[in-house]
């Protein structure tokens, strides 16, 4: 729903169907800066546009078919434009209900094909009360959706700088949850140990909801794979830099170390 543009470039969906734009009155600036007067981070599609699902849901199916996938990650992160007062369809509506409505719509569609829905967790966390801020949690009143969406949605709980113990919150709400690091190996190792500790310390009903770790990569595959394979001669390689590949390697070294029978087990 969100991430339909990036800085000055609008994504394909809203290029072809500009009528789906939640904020068509927001003009793309000549030079993009953040913050900006429109609060433009990324554009969103309007979840109440009567034709948006005719386009989006067949796309979901096509992608799942091509990849023979039994689960679909719908994103749903960092949706800043939602339920805008000037939108003739969403204006004045409850943003948590709008957000949950879109999750339920995609979930129900996937269910007809026996596919699971995965989403990022940030819009389901209250950014103000938790102090998590407006990126990895919500300042735009979507967080009450956590109690409105189906419990079999898988939550990808991303925290890139600090190992916030939010998986417990999602697990207590009934969701399966994966912790998602990016390029901070110390945080990733802490998050791994947290997942294991949460499993160990929780009631039987909660244990299987802590599903482990999901490494995120926010570059093209090329630089990631070159870095992963240690191509130090590559132009992408910078000594000492925090990267997704190095975080991945550190995390999986730790997983190996913790495996039963490993000599290195502490
Ligand atoms: Zn709208």
Span 146-164, mean pLDDT?
A: 98
CA 86 / ligand 1 centre spacing (Å):
8
Residue 169 falls inside a structural domain: yes
State the chain's mean pLDDT as an integer. Answer: 95
Span 214-229, mean pLDDT?
A: 93
CA 194 / ligand 1 centre spacing (Å):
39
CA 147 / ligand 1 centre spacing (Å):
22
Low-confidence winner among 23-37, 71-85, 233-247 (lowest mean pLDDT): 233-247
CA 153 / ligand 1 centre spacing (Å):
24
Same domain, 107 and 20: yes
Length of the chain, in residues:
266
Same domain, 250 and 168: yes
Range of the domain at 200: 153-266
Would you place residue 239 in the very low, low, confident or very high pLDDT band (cuts 50, 70, 90)?
Answer: confident
CA 53 / ligand 1 centre spacing (Å):
13
Residue 40 falls inside a structural domain: yes
Same domain, 118 and 194: no
Would you place residue 234 in the very low, low, confident or very high pLDDT band (cuts 50, 70, 90)?
Answer: low
CA 44 / ligand 1 centre spacing (Å):
9
CA 24 / ligand 1 centre spacing (Å):
10
Q: What is the pLDDT of residue 260?
A: 84
Same domain, 106 and 181: no
Please, which residues bridge with residue 138 across strands?
Answer: 126
> Omega of the bond prior to 35 within 30 degrees of 0, cis?
yes
Same domain, 113 and 162: no
Does residue 235 carry a pLDDT above 80?
Answer: no
Would you place residue 158 in the very low, low, confident or very high pLDDT band (cuts 50, 70, 90)?
Answer: very high
Q: What is the pLDDT of residue 17?
A: 98
| Nearest of 183, 182, 209 to residue 195 by alpha carbon | 209
Same domain, 117 and 197: no
The set of residues, in sequence order, having a beta carbon less than 8 Å from that of 82 and lying 6+ positions away, is 1, 2, 22, 44, 47, 90, 95, 98, 99, 140, 142
Percent of the chain exceeding pLDDT 70 equals 96
Span 185-192, mean pLDDT?
A: 98
The set of residues, in sequence order, having a beta carbon less than 8 Å from that of 52 and lying 6+ positions away, is 17, 20, 45, 46
Structure tokens at 195: 């997942």
Residue 164 falls inside a structural domain: yes
CA 23 / ligand 1 centre spacing (Å):
8
The set of residues, in sequence order, having a beta carbon less than 8 Å from that of 203 and lying 6+ positions away, is none
CA 89 / ligand 1 centre spacing (Å):
5
Same domain, 72 and 158: no
The one-character DSSP state at 45 is B
For residue range 166-179, list pLDDT tens digits in order: 999 999 999 999 99
Same domain, 102 and 164: no
Does residue 190 carry a pLDDT above 80?
Answer: yes
Residue 138 falls inside a structural domain: no
Same domain, 116 and 181: no
CA 48 / ligand 1 centre spacing (Å):
6
Same domain, 117 and 164: no
Same domain, 162 and 112: no
| Mode of pairing for the β-strands spanning 154-158 and 71-73 | unpaired
For residue range 41-82, list pLDDT tens digits in order: 999 999 999 999 999 999 999 999 999 999 999 999 999 999
CA 91 / ligand 1 centre spacing (Å):
7
Would you place residue 27 in the very low, low, confident or very high pLDDT band (cuts 50, 70, 90)?
Answer: very high
Would you place residue 233 in the very low, low, confident or very high pLDDT band (cuts 50, 70, 90)?
Answer: low
Residue 148 falls inside a structural domain: no
For residue range 195-204, list pLDDT tens digits in order: 999 999 999 9
> How many separate domains does the chain show?
2
Same domain, 163 and 240: yes
CA 64 / ligand 1 centre spacing (Å):
27
Q: Is 41 helix (H, G, I), strand (E, B) or coil?
A: coil
CA 26 / ligand 1 centre spacing (Å):
14
Q: ∠178-22-87 over CA atoms, to 5°?
A: 125
Residue 146 falls inside a structural domain: no
Does residue 241 carry a pLDDT above 90?
Answer: no
| d(C-alpha 123, C-alpha 136), whole Å | 8
Alpha-carbon distance values, 54 to 117, 141, 184 (Å)? 18, 27, 40
Residue finishing a domain among 80, 101, 122: 122
CA 1 / ligand 1 centre spacing (Å):
11
Residue 9 falls inside a structural domain: yes
| d(C-alpha 148, C-alpha 168), whole Å | 18
């Amino acid at each position: 729903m969100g991430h339909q543009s990036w800085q000055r470039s609008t994504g394909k969906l809203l290029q072809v169907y500009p009528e789906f734009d939640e904020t068509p009155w927001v003009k793309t600036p000549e030079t993009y800066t953040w913050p900006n007067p429109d609060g433009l981070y990324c554009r969103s599609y309007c979840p109440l546009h009567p034709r948006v699902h005719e386009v989006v849901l067949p796309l979901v199916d096509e992608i799942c078919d091509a990849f023979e996938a039994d689960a679909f990650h719908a994103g749903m992160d960092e949706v800043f434009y939602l339920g805008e007062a000037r939108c003739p369809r969403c204006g004045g509506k409850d943003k948590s209900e709008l957000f949950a409505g879109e999750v339920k719509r995609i979930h129900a569609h996937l269910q007809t094909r026996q596919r699971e829905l995965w989403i990022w967790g940030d819009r389901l966390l209250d950014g103000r009360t938790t102090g998590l801020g407006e990126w990895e949690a919500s300042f735009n009143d979507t967080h009450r959706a956590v109690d409105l969406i189906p419990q079999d949605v898988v939550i990808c709980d991303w925290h890139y700088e600090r190992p916030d113990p939010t998986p417990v919150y999602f697990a207590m709400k009934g969701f399966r949850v994966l912790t998602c690091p990016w390029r901070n190996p110390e945080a990733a190792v802490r998050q791994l140990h947290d997942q294991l500790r949460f499993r160990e310390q929780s009631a039987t009903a909660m244990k299987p909801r802590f599903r482990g770790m999901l490494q995120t990569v926010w570059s093209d595959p090329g630089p990631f794979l070159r870095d992963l394979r240690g191509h130090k001669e590559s132009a992408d390689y910078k000594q000492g830099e925090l990267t997704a590949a190095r975080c991945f390697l550190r995390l999986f070294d730790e997983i190996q170390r913790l495996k039963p029978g490993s000599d290195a087990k502490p």
